[in-house]
Structure 1
Amino acid sequence: MRRTAIKWLHWLSLGFLLYFLAIEPEDVDRLGAAALATHAGVGMVFAVIVLSWFGMYLVKGLAGRPGPKLQGWAREAHIWSHRALYWSLVVMLLSGGLIGLFAPYVIQGFGIIPMLPNIPAKSFHDLMQESHELLFNLLIGGVMLHAIFHLWRHTALRDNALRVMMPKTLHRYL
């Protein structure tokens, strides 16, 4: 059950990250205020997913183990890269939430769910916006390295690493 839940959270998180690559708050000029409202609303939904996944990690630790074929640096990289991804997701979401809390205007998720009454602190808001964008870019880089690492494991070590996180219907293609 836990492995199934983690697979769902893993692939949902990837979908959300791809959405955030496509729709950024800067798109307000092009798409209108609905872009910011949608970004905030989807961020709130993503926060529930990430916090669920992070809670599982805090309670039970990493679900995946390095496996017998990973040795030396690769074994350590497996453990530390997964920990880094868990924590970076939370920090990135926290920075996004702080943007909403300290915005000079009320941000409403999906145009209806207020993040909270705004706390006026424009310079902190600006700092959080810059931090959030930087953290997101670093997270995307980490996700790309994560994917490359597991593709390397699957192809070079032939340890079927991708089967662990892929739905069974896709196993025949691996």
Structure 2
Amino acid sequence: MATARSIWRSTVKLLHWTAFGALIATLVAGNSLPLRVAFSLAVGLWASGTLLFGLSGRPGPALTGALRRLFVPAHALLLALLGLAAAALWSAEPDPLSGSVRTLFLVTLGAGLLHGIFHMWRHTVLNDGALRNMTPRIIHDFL
């Protein structure tokens, strides 16, 4: 029988990719209500679950030193950036996304891209399967 934690791990994958897609779509298409709701719900549920269950990923044994120590704070910072971006959307003008809200979204996207590069490095150089933690099982054969 599935536990709440195992269900949460699967849910985080969905929320992770929903938030990423909604962030990109908002930057491209503007601040529409459906994107605002999708992004805010994904980030809000993700943050709530993380407070309840903790991070779904852990630093693997191959990750050492400063990178290991920074793993949890860096992920918390990313989630905080996503939360700030979601909150900022509700005070922003509709289309197009501009000003400080656009800057916040670009900073969040940049941090997310560094996050993705870091996990690709872990997966390929450390060979710890890091990408399998946040990707759907259907693509695991390609990783």
Which structure 1 segments of 5+ residues have no match? 25-35, 101-106, 108-128
1:95 aligns with 2:88: yes
For the residue of structure 2 that corresponds to 1:70, the secondary structure is coil
Counterparts of 1:25-36 in structure 2, within 5 Å, are: none
Aligned-partner Cα distance in 2 for 1:11–1:45: 11
Tell me the TM-score normalised to structure 2 length.
0.86
For the residue of structure 2 that corresponds to 1:54, the secondary structure is helix
Aligned residue pair count:
134
Q: Which runs of 4+ in 1 moved over 6 A?
A: none
2:133 alignment counterpart: 164
1:51 alignment counterpart: 44
2:60 alignment counterpart: 67
Tell me the TM-score normalised to structure 1 length.
0.72
Question: Considering only CA atoms, is the larger Rg found in Structure 1 or Structure 2?
Answer: 1
Q: Which moved more, 1:43-52 or 1:91-100?
A: 91-100
Deviation at 1:48, TM superposition (A): 1.1
Say which of 9, 12, 19 aligns to 2:18: 12
Residue 21 of structure 1 aligns to which amino acid in structure 2? L
Residue 80 of structure 1 aligns to which amino acid in structure 2? P
1:29 alignment counterpart: none
Structure number with greater CO (CA < 8 Å, separation at least 6) is: 2
For the residue of structure 2 that corresponds to 1:98, the secondary structure is coil
Paired-residue identity, %: 35
Residue 39 of structure 2 aligns to which amino acid in structure 1? F
CA contact (8 A) 2:22 2:38 kept: no
**Alignment RMSD:** 1.5
Question: C-alpha offsets along residues 23-58 of structure 1, whole Å, 9 cap, x if unaligned?
Answer: 13xxxxxxxxxxx5xx23311221111101110011
